[in-house]
Amino acid sequence: MASAFEYAPAPESRSVVDIAPSYGLFIDGEFTDAADGQVFKTVSPSSEEVLSEVARAGTADVDRAVQAARRAFEKWSALPGSERAKYLFRIARIIQERSRELAVLETLDNGKPIKETRDADLPLVAAHFFYYAGWADKLDHAGYGANPRPLGVAGQIIPWNFPLLMLAWKIAPALATGNTVVLKPAETTPLSALFFADICRQAGLPKGVVNILTGYGDAGSALVEHPDVNKIAFTGSTAVGKAIARQIAGTGKKATLELGGKGANIVFDDAPVDQAVEGIVTGIFFNQGQVCCAGSRLLVQESIEDELLDSLKRRLSTLRLGDPLDKNTDIGAINSQEQLSRITALVETGEAEGADRWSAPCELPSAGYWFAPTLFTGVTQAHTVARDEIFGPVLSVLSFRTPDEAVAKANNSQYGLSAGIWTEKGSRILAVANKLRAGVVWANTFNKFDPTSPFGGYKESGFGREGGRHGLEGYLDV
Ligand code: NAP
Ligand code: MG
């Protein structure tokens, strides 16, 4: 087995970000305490250090924020699209200017490697604002008729795995189409949304157009329930997504739900093995596997299974796990103790059900929340680790003999968010992709994102699309 190369530490500087000891809610352009004075702490998952204390929104704060968004809606929606675009372009440029600071902040609050926040999250965040800024004055040409109207106040609830990127996916199209926003970030990653609130002020965005409510699930639920919210955009677990769908049934609120996944990454025997191995690693170990569209089920053609698994294990043994602020780190911390417990429990179930576990040999730091890159072989479709979303750095390996078997196994899931195909044959890519029930299908790559490309699921992965021209529809009265 190859051992990891030794690298000198290459820490990114923490001093580029100034985190205040406490933050309020951002309502009507001002930072304010929660009405009942409640607060909670946010920690760095790699060290368990408390980073800051933030206000915890309650029902009264939700109401205040929705009212502010409602007041702002009249003027904001009446602005010419070209004027709204100016604000969005300004926000995009400020994000670029402050991207190093925001990347360090996100790494501290979330635990993901700086390599990812710097090279993936932040560039995509800016790109989303640039992209939807470009649409703001062209809505007549978006395919929804002349002068399509916004919905009103959008209540947006996001998860912790890509905090600022999910914010961008939600806020950029909402503002471009003339809606105003109340957004609730996840409780373990509130900070980048609060820095975004500061960016809104820096950009001179009119008061009340964007409101940020840090808090727990109950604040999210109160936002969904509020009678003056016209649209709910939610990214998170399928369980909460279903609860939201029940809550808004019959209210006339429009909804976009982006939920869980169990993506199949299909490797045919003619695929270039080394490239496929890199794609498998990107597919499931990017962001510690805490990715809804992760390629968490590897389907490998039987004739190359042994060769591929040998290469994969060799590659996984070279991944560097540790300080997320180190520029050489590949695998950062799991986002929370709660998530680590969920991953651990599912992996124990996999072992108890008889699948074979292999974990990369690596030392786990003593503080913080960590899980070594892991794979399961000897997995059948009935195994829990082949069916349930683990949302961690854990790959389940299954094999197939024919393309039809690969498609049948890939589609044998309650989810339908993503899939990957690895083969040299273009015709096979097209034939297989057409049969996969997945919102995104990557060919000879994985986890590639672009603001121009719509993203969303089939089945229990949710409905509605974010990104691209399709992403405008969820915020327009069409
Ligand atoms: P989660 O519990 O559903 O949380 C998502 C967000 O909803 C958080 O802000 C959460 O607040 C809030 N929330 C919790 N209960 C709520 C309720 N009853 N009503 C309204 N809002 C509520 O999900 P998670 O476990 O933190 O995140 C992981 C899950 O998200 C995975 O299943 C993953 O697949 C999914 N996900 C999907 C996508 C996608 O694009 N399809 C992207 C990322 C993640 P708190 O933080 O306070 O709990
Ligand atoms: Mg945190």
Indicate whether residue 447 lines ligand 1 (CB < 6 A).
no
- pLDDT mean over 439-449: 97
- pLDDT mean over 361-366: 95
Residue 5 has pLDDT above 80, yes or no: no
Kindly report the backbone phi and psi dihedral angles of residue 280, in degrees, each rounded to the nearest multiple of 5, phi listed first.
-65, -40
What are 392-434's pLDDT values in tens digits?
999 999 999 999 999 999 999 999 999 999 999 999 999 999 9
Residue 12 has pLDDT above 80, yes or no: yes
The CATH number given to 14-259+461-477 is: 3.40.605.10
Q: How far is the CA of 42 from the centre of ligand 2 (A)?
A: 5
Q: Which of 52, 17, 10, 16 lies closest to 31 in space, CA to CA? A: 52
- pLDDT mean over 45-73: 98
- Nearest CA residue ID for atom 44, ligand 1: 236
Domain boundaries, the chain: 14-259+461-477, 264-450
User: Looking at residue 7, what is its pLDDT?
Assistant: 82
pLDDT band at 34 (very low <50, low <70, confident <90, very high): very high
User: Looking at residue 1, what is its pLDDT?
Assistant: 42
- Domain 264-450: homologous superfamily in CATH: Aldehyde Dehydrogenase; Chain A, domain 2 (3.40.309.10)
- 156 neighbors 171 (Cβ within 8 angstroms): yes
Task: Report the helix count and the strand count for the chain, using DSSP H and E.
Answer: 16, 20
What are 148-206's pLDDT values in tens digits?
999 999 999 999 999 999 999 999 999 999 999 999 999 999 999 999 999 999 999 99
The long-range contacts involving 347-353, CB below 8 angstroms and separated by at least 24 positions, are 347/374, 347/385, 347/390, 347/392, 347/394, 349/384, 349/385, 350/376, 350/379, 350/383, 350/384, 350/385, 350/394, 350/396, 353/383, 353/384, 353/385
Indicate whether residue 292 lines ligand 1 (CB < 6 A).
yes
Read off the tokens for 376: 């399961």
Residue 56 has pLDDT above 60, yes or no: yes
Indicate whether residue 180 lines ligand 1 (CB < 6 A).
no
Per-position DSSP letters for 332-351, written without gaps between them: ---S-HHHHHHHHHHHHHHH
Indicate whether residue 263 lines ligand 1 (CB < 6 A).
no
Q: Which of 110, 156, 292 to mutate to test the pocket of ligand 1 (most atoms within 8 A of CB)?
A: 292
pLDDT band at 4 (very low <50, low <70, confident <90, very high): low
User: Looking at residue 2, what is its pLDDT?
Assistant: 43
Q: Which of 40, 157, 182, 288 to mutate to test the pocket of ligand 1 (most atoms within 8 A of CB)?
A: 157
Cα angle, residue 172 at apex, residues 168 and 178 outer, rounded to 5°: 150
- 406 neighbors 412 (Cβ within 8 angstroms): no
Q: Exposed, middle or buried: residue 149 (CB in 10 Å: 0-12, 13-18, 19+)? A: middle
Ligand 1: which atom is nearest the Cα of residue 239?
3
Q: How far is the CA of 372 from the centre of ligand 2 (A)?
A: 20
Q: Which of 38, 161, 191, 237 to mutate to test the pocket of ligand 1 (most atoms within 8 A of CB)?
A: 237
Kindly report the backbone phi and psi dihedral angles of residue 285, in degrees, each rounded to the nearest multiple of 5, phi listed first.
-105, -10
Q: How far is the CA of 105 from the centre of ligand 2 (A)?
A: 10
Catalytic residue numbers, as ranges: 258, 292
- Nearest CA residue ID for atom 4, ligand 1: 236
Q: Which ligand is nearest to the CA of 324?
A: 2
- Nearest CA residue ID for atom 48, ligand 1: 217
Indicate whether residue 235 lines ligand 1 (CB < 6 A).
yes
Q: How far is the CA of 381 from the centre of ligand 1 (A)?
A: 26
What are 276-332's pLDDT values in tens digits?
999 999 999 999 999 999 999 999 999 999 999 999 999 999 999 999 999 999 999
User: Looking at residue 218, what is its pLDDT?
Assistant: 98
Ligand 1: which atom is nearest the Cα of residue 169?
40
Non-local CB neighbours of 109 within 8 Å, separated by 6+ positions:
42, 44, 51, 163, 188, 189, 190, 191, 192
Indicate whether residue 337 lines ligand 1 (CB < 6 A).
no
- 68 neighbors 208 (Cβ within 8 angstroms): yes
User: Looking at residue 168, what is its pLDDT?
Assistant: 98
User: Looking at residue 6, what is its pLDDT?
Assistant: 76
- pLDDT mean over 132-156: 97
What are 218-261's pLDDT values in tens digits?
999 999 999 999 999 999 999 999 999 999 999 999 999 999 99
In Å, how far from its chain's centre is CA 350? 25
Read off the tokens for 442: 């990557």
